[in-house]
A and B are shown apart, each in its own frame.
Chain A
Amino acid sequence: MVTAAATRPGSRDVAAPTPLRMRRAKVPRTFYLFLLPTLVLFTLAITLPAVMGITLSFTDSVGFGEFQFTGLTNYIALFSDPAIRSSYLFTIGFALVTVLVVNLVAFLLAVGLTAKIRAKIALRAVFVLPMVISGIVIAYVFNFLFSNSLPQLGQAVGISALEQSLLANPDLAWITIVIVTAWQAIPSALLIYIAGILSIPGEVYEAASMDGATAARRLVSITLPLVAGYVVINLVIGFKNFLNAYDIIVGLTNGGPGTATRSVAMTIFSGFTGGDYAYQMANATIFFLIAVVLAVIQLRLNRGRSAF
């Protein structure tokens, strides 16, 4: 149907001077020229690699040369691979903890930053600042702080747990990744919460105050329910982003000590060097399915509040 419209003879750049909505007007060719280059590039750069990756995940390819289709072999192997399992457990656990930390801090900061305070604009600008700083670079800075400054502080205060670098501790290194990721991710969650809180009409609070609701009561019974939609959006967006953790981990622990903090992205990238190219393609495909599930959840949540 659409193709017919495109090739209809006499389809001109200038629309017919009849009222546009009276009949189904021809689509000016320019509109196709506006859209097609993007569609072509997008297909080559995104869709083609995706299809290629999924196809190769059913083979024994090592990244070059000939390969044979091996069915579900890679997938079956994945599910019994302890390295893969630990990377998923680490990544999902890390994403869950981080998303909770980020949202708790961001929500409290948003409540503070929407209150009547001094230097409101400047304070907001300060709290948003971490968003614009490169993840890998700030991770290198924190790397130094965690391996030098924090142990020094631990010695000075006499907390023996801190005297050794957290980065070298297989059980605690993940905490540093949560801290740095949260440092960088709080701003965007914060801005969304600020928008949410500002969308609550002041009258609601006024009425509650008149009825004698305490501040804590108003937070729990008014602010939280009314920004619940924003909380859910932030949780889903955050979780989805944190699953892709890579830059900050490279800058802090590089997956170590050992493989204690290896994320899924890092195991996938090991397919470049490890000779298990197709195997990591299968890993990426599983990872993709998880992303799709999260995407569906996000779209459903967004539908309620968007124009589309």
Chain B
Amino acid sequence: MTAQTLLTTTPAQVQVRPRRRFGRRGGEDRPSWRTTTVLLVCAVAVFLPLYATLTMAFKTTAQTVDGQVFSLPAPFSVDGFVEAWKLTNFPRGFAISVFVTAVTVVGTVLLASFAAYAIARNWDRSFFRWSFFYLLAAMFLPFPVLALSQVKLTGMVGLANPVGVALLHVMFQLSFSVLLFTAFIRGLPEELEESARLDGATTWMVFRHIVFPMMAPMSATVAIFAFLASWNDFMMPSLITADSTLQTLPVLQSVFQTQFSSNYNVAFASYLMAMAPAIIVYLFTQRWVMAGVTQGAIK
């Protein structure tokens, strides 16, 4: 029965409102509580580890000893946060994560939009067309394949640090981002650009004042993906950055796997501080995150 309700109501999504009145069974038009309930139960699986993180983070070390993750902290304690803050040198790790992520986001949006604009508007030139496919090829080149040489090369040119990590993050975001931007620019009417050019605008002015502002929605999508990929990455910084005091937040969390492994409240407080910025950004940008996934896969 649940399945039936669930399926028969699917098409209502794409129907125009007045249509509903002509539904064959009146019951189908009301929101299904049954499906909602099933989904709510499934949502528990999403929240379970996050809930455990929250409760553990606010306990004292003594409270965490019994390993009961789901009991509420009594009393609430911020000792874990204070300790984690000092132990991982949170301000420094946070600053480095912010630096790497900011460079990645700005670099990706700028380089990819520049390149995509040049490519989209000169598609009939083989140089630009082939550049597009060249850049696209890396979308299928996973980091593990390149890691050994990249670590060696970044070490040789003095980039075994957050700057090198940010640069590589940009490079690995390029394919996907250029693809999205190029598709978007091709959908923009050229007339506006042409008339601006006739009025004497240079290519740069046309890009800066007409094309780039029009691309804002796509820039938002590209920026969010660059943000998530960079902020959450573990593999690249852990391999590229040689100096462990210059590590990003996700890499710093490994400290709790070796020493201090009994201070679970400290570890979970630290995990929470590492996750929180991405969750907060997500809360404000859900719409673009969701749209971006779909565009990226189907374009």
Contacts and interface: CB of A to CB of B under 8 A. Distances in A.
Contacts of A14: 197, 200-202
Interface in A6-55: 6, 13-15, 17, 20, 27-28, 30-32, 34-35, 37-39, 41-42, 45-46, 48-50, 52-53
Interface string B192-226: 00100110111110010000000000000000000
B69 A148 contact: yes
Contacts of B168: 45
A284 B145 CA distance: 5
Contacts of B36: 117-119, 123
B82 interface: no
Contacts of A1: 126
A223 interface: yes
Contacts of B45: 183
B257 to A, nearest CB: 7
A252 B257 CA distance: 10
Contacts of B275: 133-134, 137-138
B7 A148 contact: no
Contacts of A214: 4
Interface string B250-267: 110110110000001001
Contact of B235 (A216, A219, A247): A247
B114 interface: yes
B232 A134 contact: yes
B35 A192 contact: no
A307 B171 CA distance: 24
Interface stretch (A66-74, A75-83, A94-102, A197-205): A197-205
Given A111-B6, A116-B12, A140-B253, A131 B149 contact: no
Interface residues of B, number: 122
A216 B289 CA distance: 32
Contacts of A191: 290, 293-294
A129 B278 CA distance: 10
B13 A53 contact: no
B134 interface: yes
A15 B33 CA distance: 61
B138 A42 contact: yes
B268 interface: yes
Contacts of B244: none
Contact of A116 (B9, B53, B153, B253): B9
B279 A284 contact: no
**Main SS of chain B's interface residues?**
helix
B6 A192 contact: no
B3 A38 contact: no
Contacts of B74: none
A155 to B, nearest CB: 11
B42 interface: yes
A42 B174 contact: yes
A280 B203 contact: no
A20 B41 CA distance: 59
A141 B39 contact: no
Contact of A53 (B30, B35, B145, B293): B145
A239 interface: no
Interface string B40-60: 101101111110110010000
B286 A200 contact: no
Contact of A292 (B28, B31, B140, B298): B140
B75 interface: no
B173 to A, nearest CB: 11
A202 B183 CA distance: 28
Interface string A249-281: 010000000000000110011011000010011
Given A35-B119, A41-B167, A209-B24, 15 more contacts: A14-B201, A17-B198, A38-B178, A50-B149, A112-B42, A125-B286, A128-B282, A131-B293, A134-B275, A138-B49, A141-B52, A202-B14, A219-B3, A291-B142, A298-B140
15 contacts: A13-B202, A42-B135, A112-B6, A115-B10, A115-B32, A118-B36, A123-B43, A132-B281, A134-B231, A134-B234, A135-B234, A137-B275, A201-B14, A230-B298, A284-B144
Interface of B: 3-15, 19, 24, 28-33, 35-36, 38-40, 42-43, 45-50, 52-53, 56, 67-70, 111-112, 114-115, 117-119, 121-122, 125-128, 131, 134-135, 137-153, 167-168, 170-171, 174, 178, 183, 186, 194, 197-198, 200-204, 207, 228, 231-235, 239, 250-251, 253-254, 256-257, 264, 267-268, 271, 274-275, 278-279, 281-282, 286, 289-290, 293-294, 297-299
Q: Which 3 pairs of residues, A with B, have the shortest CB-CB distance? A: A295-B140, A202-B11, A2-B127
